[in-house]
Structure 1
Amino acid sequence: MKVAELSNPVKSDWFEDQGLRLDASPYVAGSMKTKKLLEQLPRTQPLASLTAGHNGGIFNGPMFRRIYLTDPEHSVPFLGTKDMMAADLTGLPRLRKSDAESPALAYLQLKPGMTLISCSGFNAGRRAYVRPDMSDCWSSQDTLKVEPDPEKIKSGYLYAFLLSKFGESLVRGSVYGSAVKHIEPHHIAGLPVPRLGTKLEGQIHDLVEECARLRAEFQSSSVSATKDLFTSVGRPELIDVRWHQQERDLGFEVPSVGATSLRALNFAPKARQLLEELGSVPSVKLGEVCSGGQLSRGTRFNRVESNPQHGVQLINQRQSFWLRPEGRWIGTANTPSEVFAQDETILIAARGTLGENEVYCRPILVTGSWLKYAYSEDFLRVGSGDPEVSGAYLFAFFRSEAAFRVLRSLSTGGKQQDIHETLRAEIPVPLASLADRKRIAATVRHAYKCRDEADALEDQALALLTTAIEEAAG
């Protein structure tokens, strides 16, 4: 629970500034404190005076009937409030193209340099930057678009301010509602944006733009590695399996069933066909690759709340797929070492439901800066025990649609699904030549190096902005 600070009490004139709002949010979330701080700067401008485009440059969109398709020729990627936080945009739901390009929705197409703000739901107020590779995406009505006027302000600088602790408190303080949080364009139109001079703003902008370029490079390199793997093993048709365009498994016969499983999903013909195709090329069973490594769920443990100075950030399934995780901080004293991951361990979301847009059975690779985090027991940990089959190579396989569909077919459980312990060890992993494996692994490692560099540049931009504002206000 947040309370007002005794050193910075809520004052009566603040109520008038906030339109006589009587809910606590803008007063204890730091919004008013930030506004008073920014008033001390030599120059600020209202956000609405720095934007241009549809509805003045700050807009969301209408509610509309969403019709999803799977054929890329007749659909466009569709970004929701959770998807805008994702590091890898592969597998986004796809909106019918004729609807997206209609006059009613055409303006919801994203433009590089926009700032996205989630404006509805429990997590209203999150921000994201539109990267170059997101220009073919449309966004939902639950996402505010802030389109900067390039003649008045640089897009990277504006995003850095909105992402900073100052922008955080201002945006969060604009949230209305109780059960369902909400932000409308006019709620943030008057946010004061500090002007720090052309040189510094340009420097911050360049850092954010390079960050966006590197994140786009992370995306393209990851996709390229997967394509390279299937091409190298002679199965290019598995790059795009078009799962939903195949006939449904409405009825089939299984010649023999053992004690391992009686669930029809585990014998689904479409998944069996994928397994046969994966095993028709030189391959090795996952259980053999992980012999001497790891192929198991994480350990359960007691969580003790802590602060960043004395704890470690615990990452759960949903947040592990975000650009920057926001996991809770837990104490390290009683935290077992098993919650950490070895370099190039693949973590597969192993608990969830079979919803098409759920993260269940999607993988991440733990390497670089992400080795510092702890990970919940809900992940299936895949660690290679074969020095000739690296974790980076395995990741290029597991991030594919083919591997995802195979993993889903091995589900067991009731409401919450899990990946069958015996069947998962039987998954055939296609083996390219050793030279190809090294090249594919190098591409994946390059992707994750780009991601780490992007995070460092974003931190540098925020540090520059924060220091400049605090010094100017001091």
Structure 2
Amino acid sequence: MKMKFMAEPCSRMVELAGKYVGPHAMTLVLEDPTDDFSLFAYAWLASPTGVQAIRATSYGTKILGVRKDLLRALPVPVAPNSIVRRVAKLVRRCTSGREEYATEIREAQILLEQTPEMRDAFEACSTRSSRSIVWDGPLPSIRAWNFAAGGGVVRLLGQRWKAQLRDVLVANGIFNGPRFARVECSPPYGIDFLSQRDVFMIRPVGRRIVLPAIPKRLLFVPRNALLVGSHGQMNEGSIFGKVELASFAGWRSGITQDILRVLAQDCYRELAYAFLSTTVGQWLLKSTAVGTSIPSMRLDLLERLPFPDPSLVTLDKIRQHVLKAEEARIAADEAEAAAIRIIEEEVLPQWLA
């Protein structure tokens, strides 16, 4: 079992296995990944107290690093075998649920990516070479570079699909929240608040702020919303254009104004998520960017993006894959939260007594 350490432990084996972990993340390789105590140790390190213990091993001033010798020396709580087994079972359930989530999402995306028009669009936007695009249509934006960088996929798909994104949205279904002061506080006061980075973490961990005096519709989001990173850099790997389901965590917390709220009609929510999370969908979202240092999305351009119109059979398959993925990840999150709760409520009080 490998655990990626940045600000906290991350259980995301499917996405990290066989991949390069950057120099700003630390990988802990446990001797026996199937051992109950190893999984118990993960839950301990993922708990709020464990995260504080990890941060206590840091050094530096503005940009902190973790000292390996201090990290190795961190103690692991002692608990009865029955509790260790309970925690390990929950962590295994969390891991298998997140693996199922990733698999089901990928299956939904493949159903779209295997169509001829999506294959052509993928080839156009993934080609890495100098190019120019001849455009004789209207000029709603002077950010021509963003359009050309995507290989003209907006025009390509617009010629093959009749539908646009706005056709599957509810009334006033795309909006950002307002800017407001974020005054930190401690529970039980205030609300949980997620930044743009927090929204796209496998286990969002935000901060506590005073409830701002703004309309709740602009602060909280419906459980069935899509959340889109709408401010940031255009480089690959950035969160600009990333898409997430609000049901994973966002609907329980206040959300930064940098996150775009997208409310699709119920029958199209899963299709919209699967499509916009593909490579082609990401390029389409980035084609709406305007600005210089920190681009943002133009909502009118976003609404006019081409949208797929699959057969009813394919649409139902996509919906089922996304719904299964959603159910698996929510169950995984609940299992991990239960494991951490056991550490905080049953293990630490006895260990520190």
In the alignment, which of 295, 315, 321 is matched to residue 437 of structure 1? 315
The residue that corresponds to 2:208 in the other structure is 329
SS at match of 2:261: strand
Task: Give ranges in structure 1 of 5+ residues lacking alignment.
Answer: 1-112
- Equivalent residue number for residue 146 of structure 1: 28
2:11 is the counterpart of 1:115: no
| Matched positions, count | 350
Alignment of 1:315-464 (within 5 A): 315-332=194-211, 334-337=213-216, 338-367=218-247, 369-384=249-264, 386-388=265-267, 390-464=268-342
1: CA distance, partners of 2:266 / 2:199:
26
Sequence identity (%) = 21
The equivalent position to 1:262 in structure 2, one of 133, 139, 142, is: 142
On the 8 A contact 2:121/2:156 being kept in 1, the answer is: no
Please state if 1:210 is matched with 2:79: no
Once residues 293 and 229 of structure 1 are traced to their aligned partners in structure 2, the CA distance between those partners, rounded to angstroms, is: 27
Partners of 1:269 and 1:463 in 2: CA distance: 47
Equivalence map 1:94-133=2 (5 Å) = 113-118=1-6, 123=7, 126-129=8-11, 131-133=13-15
The DSSP-based 3-state class of the residue aligned with 1:195 is coil
Aligned in 2, Cα 1:369/1:361: closer, same or farther, shift over 3 Å? Answer: closer
TM-score, length-scaled by structure 2: 0.88
Flag the 1:171–1:376 CA change in 2: closer, same or farther, 3 A. Answer: closer
C-alpha deviation, 1:143, in angstroms: 2.7
Q: Unaligned stretches of 5+ in structure 2?
A: none
Where is the helix percentage greater, Structure 1 or Structure 2? 2
SS at match of 1:364: strand
Deviates more, 1:185-194 or 1:217-226: 185-194
> What pairs with 1:221-370 in structure 2 (closer than 5 Å)?
221-231=104-114, 234-235=116-117, 237=119, 241=123, 243-249=125-131, 251-258=132-139, 260-268=140-148, 270-272=150-152, 274-290=153-169, 292-332=171-211, 334-337=213-216, 338-367=218-247, 369-370=249-250
> Contact conserved, 1:286 with 1:426, CA < 8 A, in 2?
yes
Q: Is the 8 A contact 2:173 2:262 kept in 1?
A: yes
TM-aligned CA deviation for residue 473 of structure 1: 4.2
Q: Shift of the alpha carbon at 1:377? A: 1.7
Closer/same/farther in 2, CA of residues 269 and 209 from structure 1, 3 Å limit: closer
Give the direction of change, closer, same or farther, for the CA distance of 1:462–1:243 in structure 2 (3 Å limit).
same
What does residue range 36-185 of structure 1 map to in structure 2 within 5 Å?
Answer: 113-118=1-6, 123=7, 126-129=8-11, 131-150=13-32, 154-185=37-68
TM-score normalised by the chain length of structure 1: 0.67
Matches of 2:325 and 2:278, distance apart in 1: 16
Aligned counterparts of 2:269 and 2:155: Cα–Cα separation in 1: 23
* Code of the aligned partner of 2:230: A
Residues of 1 paired with 2:133 and 2:49: CA distance?
59
Distance 1:145 1:472 in 2: 27
How far off is 1:181 after superposition? Answer: 1.6
Q: Which amino acid in structure 2 is aligned with residue 286 of structure 1? A: L
8 Å CA contact 1:279–1:428 kept in 2: the answer is yes
Retained in 1: the 8 A contact 2:4–2:25?
A: yes
Contact in 2 for aligned 1:161/1:167 (Cα 8 Å): yes
1:282 is displaced (CA, Å) by 4.4
Q: Residue deviations 1:110-147, cap 9 Å, x none? A: xxx123323xxxx4xx2223525532122233333322
CA shift at 1:400, angstroms?
0.9
Whether the aligned pair in 2 keeps the contact of 1:154 and 1:205 (CA below 8 Å) is: yes
Q: Which residue of 2 aligns with 1:77?
A: none
Could you tell me which amino acid in structure 1 is paired with residue 25 of structure 2?
Answer: T
Q: 1:132 to 1:396 in 2, by over 3 A?
A: closer
CA RMSD of aligned residues (A): 2.7
**How far apart are the structure 2 equivalents of 1:429 and 1:132?**
29
Larger radius of gyration: 1
Higher relative contact order (CA 8 A, sep 6+): 2
Contact map agreement 1:304 1:331 (CA 8 A) in 2: yes
Matched letter for residue 115 of structure 1: M
Deviation sequence 1:70-111 (CA, Å, 0-9, x none): xxxxxxxxxxxxxxxxxxxxxxxxxxxxxxxxxxxxxxxxxx
